[in-house]
């Protein structure tokens, strides 16, 4: 399964039954109720590496199947219409004709996807801004990065094509300054360190990613313990060198230091209704050449959790 598949990809994993032996791969996939796509769409998915056969990219739509072959698919859904404008309040930190910087609250989805067709940041931007770059059929106009639904903190959205190109190049080159604050079960972590792993989808859990598989796609997080919280917790600052999906959550979970409240990679916590992860700092070069840097404090729910744990962090 491709490790670059978006979070909203339709994921299917199955073994080829005896009665499908000898069938073409594309014909077999077209027959599956789990994949509501045309044969030509599935052929395109195969050519793009969105389908694997026995752990390797299938590549050939006409490949003949054998009984018990393992097929894994991660196929993005068909594009939906442009997001409708919605009057959703935003905590705006900075805005000009090129960029809009905001403090995203937990619970706000960044862009429309199956299960979240409205009420997203993109809907709010469509209402606030007359026009956004990439609107022609895109569900992510103006979006060059995102935060998970339940991660809070500072984000930038692009209002001009120049900004979209400039910021996209900076994210690709890893020159953006990004720091996150995480509350985790990390009393055993050294005071500072670096997680440097591969990054791919977890073959045993469709919604998760993992750093434990051999892949050239790297995920690098530098961390520093800000505040040990006895008996077994820590408040940690994480600086991203790369920006992979769920990167910080994966690194902490696989270091046996899961982020509190992260139900996907850990377990719920009575003090939190979401994972305790906050993007507190973002720095980037504006299209006019200025370096802009924004920092936002911990939101109320994380401050309340720290207070309940007897931690003093301001």
Could you give the residue numbers annotated as active site?
148
Bridge partners for 201 per DSSP: 209
Cα 232 from chain centre = 28
H/E element holding 124?
helix 121-128
Residue 82 DSSP one-character state: P
Q: Is the dihedral of CA 123, 208, 147, 108 positive or negative?
A: positive
- Strand pairing category for 277-285 and 152-158: parallel
- Tell me if 183 sits within 8 A of 215, measured CB to CB: no
- Nearest-5° angle of CA 232, CA 282, CA 125? 115
Task: Report CA-CA distances (Å) from 226 to 13, 179, 283, 311.
Answer: 41, 13, 20, 11
């Amino acid at each position: 399964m491709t490790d670059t598949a978006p979070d909203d990809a339709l994921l299917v994993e199955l073994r080829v039954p005896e009665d499908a032996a000898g069938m073409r791969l594309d014909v077999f996939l077209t027959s599956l109720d789990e994949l509501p796509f045309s044969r030509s769409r599935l052929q395109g998915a195969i050519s793009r590496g969105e389908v694997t056969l026995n752990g390797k990219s299938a590549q050939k739509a006409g490949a003949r199947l054998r009984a018990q072959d393992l097929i894994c698919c991660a196929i993005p859904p068909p594009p939906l219409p442009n997001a409708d404008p919605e009057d959703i309040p935003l905590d705006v930190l900075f805005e000009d004709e090129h960029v809009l910087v905001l403090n995203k609250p937990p619970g706000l989805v960044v862009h429309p996807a199956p299960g979240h067709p409205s009420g997203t940041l993109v809907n709010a931007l469509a209402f606030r801004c007359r026009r956004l770059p990439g609107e022609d059929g895109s569900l992510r106009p103006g979006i060059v990065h995102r935060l998970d639904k339940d991660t809070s903190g500072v984000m930038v959205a692009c209002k001009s094509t120049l900004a979209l190109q400039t910021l996209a190049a900076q994210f690709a080159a890893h020159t953006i300054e990004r720091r996150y604050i995480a509350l985790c079960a990390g009393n055993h972590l050294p005071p500072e360190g670096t997680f440097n792993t591969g990054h791919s989808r977890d073959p045993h859990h469709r919604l998760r990613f993992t750093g434990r598989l051999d892949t050239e796609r790297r995920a690098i997080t530098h961390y520093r313990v800000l505040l040990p919280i006895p008996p077994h917790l820590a408040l940690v600052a994480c600086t991203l060198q790369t920006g992979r999906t769920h990167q910080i959550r994966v690194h902490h979970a696989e270091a046996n230091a899961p982020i509190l409240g992260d139900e996907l990679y850990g377990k719920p916590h009575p003090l939190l209704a979401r994972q305790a992860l906050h993007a507190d700092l973002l720095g980037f070069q504006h299209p006019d050449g200025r370096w802009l840097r924004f920092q936002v404090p911990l939101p109320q729910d994380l401050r309340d959790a720290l207070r309940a744990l007897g931690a003093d962090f301001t």
